[in-house]
């Protein structure tokens, strides 16, 4: 397979394990409560909330919950389908 055809997975070490104490506790509670690792989007949003998370959360909420001709369920399905196409866990 050519280099262009390969899927490259890159994780930033800090986003995986460099959280501050409050965010580490939050991620641990999520992991214990669900039995699963928190999704990467949660890890990214909580890594430095003042840079990304606080701005991303309201935008994501508006996109998924604002008035639309599509129902909330349809919007969630679109998100899940897009994540699947991008080989991301939703």
Q: Is the pLDDT of residue 62 over 90?
A: no
5-25 pLDDT, tens per residue? 555 555 677 788 889 999 999
> Any idea of the CA torsion for 71, 75, 81, 86, to the nearest 10 degrees?
170
The per-residue pLDDT for 45 is 87
Where do we find the tokens 């999520």?
A: 30
Question: From the CB of residue 41, how many other CB atoms can be counted at a distance below 10 Å?
Answer: 15
Tokens of 27: 């991620």
The per-residue pLDDT for 26 is 94
CB 43 within 8 A of CB 15: yes
The per-residue pLDDT for 89 is 61
pTM of the model: 0.60
Q: Is the pLDDT of residue 84 over 80?
A: yes
Element (H, E) at 30: helix 21-34
42-52 pLDDT, tens per residue? 888 888 888 88
Q: Is the pLDDT of residue 28 over 90?
A: yes
């Amino acid at each position: 397979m050519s280099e262009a055809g390969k899927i490259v997975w890159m994780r930033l070490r800090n986003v995986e394990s460099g959280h501050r104490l409050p965010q580490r506790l939050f991620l641990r509670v999520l992991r214990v409560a669900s039995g699963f690792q928190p999704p990467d989007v949660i890890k990214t949003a909580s890594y430095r909330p003042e840079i990304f998370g606080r701005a991303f959360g309201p935008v994501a909420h508006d996109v998924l919950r604002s008035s639309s001709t599509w129902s909330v369920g349809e919007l969630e399905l679109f998100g899940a389908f897009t994540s699947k196409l991008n080989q991301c866990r939703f």
